[in-house]
Amino acid sequence: MKGFIRFSVLSIMNKREIVKISINFLVAVTTLVVIDSCGKKGGGNSGMPTGDLVGVPDRVGWTQQVPYGMVVCPSGTFHMGQADQDVPATQINYNKQITIGGFYMDETEITNNEYRQFVEFLSKPDLYPDWKNTQAWLDSTIKSKGEEYIVRELYPDTTVWVRDFAHHMGDPMMEYYYYHPAFDEYPVVGVDWYASRIFSNWRTRFMNEWRTDLSGMNLFANPNFRLPSEAEWEYAARGGRDMAKYPWGGPYIRNSKGCMLANLKPGRGNYYDDGFMYTSPVGSYFSNDYGLYDMSGNVSEWCEDAFYESAVPVVWDMNPTYFDDKEKRKILRGGSWKDVAYYLELGTRTFEYADSTKSFIGFRCAMTYLGRSSGQEF
């Protein structure tokens, strides 16, 4: 009996303690909620200034979408430079480990038909009446230089098919390559470094005027389209395969079935083993692991950097670029339909003068990714 009474008293005391603890817990939680609502940044802000630092209200959320025709190249670290013997002993492409920030890149080279849209915007503004800001920019910066400048500097130079090679019947290519629909999906050539940058600038304004004004959605402007840096180009071309010799990884230019893996000149006088005498339609061969096509072969590609023999040890080891407005030589990468395999290697550095137009040089655009990205969220 005494034991039962003692147990009952203890039970009552425990219940009282539990109630007491529960009341104290509720008081504590209520206090924290009040403190949080009063003292946290932005807490209790009804949209009116309160004297607190809460940031600018009603900011539209930012989500960077993958631009049409582009693929993601996530941030990463790789070894830039030669992945095989430096056959001509240039000594200008030593290995260097560098880090590259995330960016987007066109999955193929800019095609004849894509470049034709830019030319059409210049020559037939009535087809694009709503793009008033872009038209005004062209009027003040490009068209003010006269029609002769536009035709000479911005239209593709079709005479390259005759000029580049002596005693060569290039007249059919000169007449049809850019203008005929049979070649719409082939890479544009005959465009110099300056024209490719103007195209990139126009492409930026064309997209962003739609985003900010014409879409009606009041979107933020995207970063600029631009030529890729030399380091970005090589990083993208490797597709995540560090020290790879070619975009497809292996050391050979044919697969196990003997099929060519790119558009190049595999042997003396032999331009046709890959299936095409000149350029090929973009995307005719397998892409690399990032989804980029024709990073080796088809046409060489302009990069943003100026050419400097000692650029590798000079530039920084994160997002390196080498700018020099006085240097007229600009970086070319990737090799072309007329080149032997050495020039298709991802560590091979070459150049051409910025105002040169060739039948074997094209380009593609890049765009900076804003934020930290592994690439998986896309």
- Three-class HEC string of 8-21: HHHHHHHHHHHHHH
Q: Among 86, 364, 66, which residue's Cα sits nearest to residue 233?
A: 364
Q: How far apart are CA 213 and CA 203, in angstroms?
A: 16
Pairing of strands 225-226, 366-368: antiparallel
Percentage above 70 pLDDT, the chain: 85
What is the DSSP code (8-state) at residue 224? P
The CA-atom distances, in angstroms, between 145 and each of 77, 116, 153, 155, 202 are 43, 20, 11, 14, 16
Tens digit of each residue's pLDDT (9 = 90 or more) over 118-159: 999 999 999 999 999 999 999 999 999 999 999 999 999 999
Strand partners, 78: 98
**Could you read off the pLDDT of 332-363 as tens digits, one per residue?**
999 999 999 999 999 999 999 999 999 999 99
Residue 263 near residue 280 (C-beta atoms within 8 A): yes
- What 3-state DSSP class applies to 340? coil
Which of 14-28, 44-58, 103-117, 137-151 bottoms out in mean pLDDT, i.e. has the lowest? 14-28
pLDDT of residue 207: 96
How much is the pLDDT for 46?
A: 53
- 78 vs 376, residue with greater confidence: 78
**Integer Cα distance of 195 and 109 in angstroms:** 15
Residue 369, CA distances (Å) to 70, 198, 230 in order: 12, 21, 17
Q: How confident is the model at residue 378 (pLDDT cuts 50, 70, 90)?
A: low
**Predicted confidence (pLDDT) per residue in 38-79, tens digit:** 444 444 445 567 888 888 877 767 788 899 999 999 999 999
- pLDDT tens readout for residues 210-267: 999 999 888 889 999 999 999 999 999 999 999 999 999 989 999 999 999 999 999 9
Q: Calculate the average pLDDT of the chain.
A: 87
pLDDT recorded at residue 14: 47
Using an 8 Å Cβ cutoff, are 108 and 287 in contact? Answer: no
- Beta-carbon contacts of 3 under 8 Å, excluding residues fewer than 6 positions away, are none
Q: Does domain 72-368 match CATH 3.40.50.150? A: no
Answer yes or no: are the C-beta atoms of 196 and 288 closer than 8 Å: no
Of the chain, the percentage scoring pLDDT greater than 90 comes to 73
User: What backbone phi and psi angles, to 5 degrees, belong to 177?
Assistant: -60, -45
pLDDT at 227 (0 to 100): 98
What is the structure's pLDDT at 16?
Answer: 47
Conformation bin of residue 201: beta by default, left when phi > 0, alpha when psi is -120 to 50? alpha
- Domain regions of the chain by residue span: 72-368
**Pairing relationship of beta strands 361-362 and 300-306 according to DSSP bridges:** parallel
What Rg value do the Cα atoms of the chain yield, rounded? Answer: 30
Q: For 267, which DSSP code?
A: B
**Lowest-confidence segment of 15-19, 143-147, 270-274, 301-305 by average pLDDT:** 15-19
Run of H or E residues at 98 = strand 96-100
pLDDT score, position 39: 45
Cα 107 → chain centroid: 9
Q: What is the DSSP letter of 254?
A: B
Residue 18: pLDDT over 70? no
